């Protein structure tokens, strides 16, 4: 029996990727390295799609060493933007679709970006950059509270 999810990421594309390695890290003794802790500044956006039932979504992230990080961090900046097309089966009603876009959309794209960033930075000194987890419920609350 094949089960099909009622919410699917139909397609996606990487729109932008910027990785700035901190060369100072290479010359700093290991005891001078900062912990691999980065602050993540995400922005999630929703756009209409020309295809009935689909929604175009975009997630942009900028990662920088955590505030107050002591020592040299491997990456000065890691930034990326990914677009996705989120689709639903016919039985998912409009209100539920809107709810799922905001609950599932950023999480799906975040997971994709985690893999893309790990792959892109895999051969960097010290190993791949691992995108930290993000509480998107809180991110979306803060975004909604900001004036447009």
pLDDT value, residue 42: 96
User: Which of the four pLDDT bands, split at 50, 70 and 90, describes residue 112?
Assistant: very high
* Inter-residue contact 108 to 86 (CB < 8 Å): yes
State residue 2's pLDDT score.
Answer: 63
- Residue pointed to by tokens 């950023």: 106
113-130 pLDDT, tens digit per residue, is: 999 999 999 999 889 999
To the nearest whole percent, how much of the chain has pLDDT over 90?
57
Q: State how far the Cα of 96 lies from the Cα of 75, in Å rounded to an integer.
A: 39
Q: How far is Cα 103 from Cα 80, in angstroms, rounded to an integer?
A: 20
What's 49's DSSP letter?
Answer: -
User: What pLDDT is attached to residue 117?
Assistant: 97
| Rounded Cα gap, residues 103 and 106, in angstroms | 7
What is the pTM for the complete model shown?
0.90
């Amino acid at each position: 029996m094949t089960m099909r999810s009622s919410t699917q990421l139909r397609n996606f594309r990487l729109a932008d990727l910027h990785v700035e390695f901190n060369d100072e890290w290479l010359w700093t003794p290991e005891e001078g390295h900062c912990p691999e802790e980065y602050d993540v500044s995400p922005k999630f956006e929703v756009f209409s799609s020309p295809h009935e039932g689909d929604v175009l979504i975009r997630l942009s992230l900028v990662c920088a060493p955590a505030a107050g990080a002591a020592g040299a961090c491997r990456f000065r900046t890691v930034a990326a933007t990914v677009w996705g097309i989120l689709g639903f089966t016919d039985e998912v009603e409009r209100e539920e679709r809107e709810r799922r876009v905001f609950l599932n959309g950023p999480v799906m794209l975040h997971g994709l970006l985690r893999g893309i960033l790990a792959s892109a930075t895999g051969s960097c000194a010290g190993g791949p950059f691992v995108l930290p987890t993000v509480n998107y419920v809180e991110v979306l609350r803060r975004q909604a509270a900001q004036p447009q």
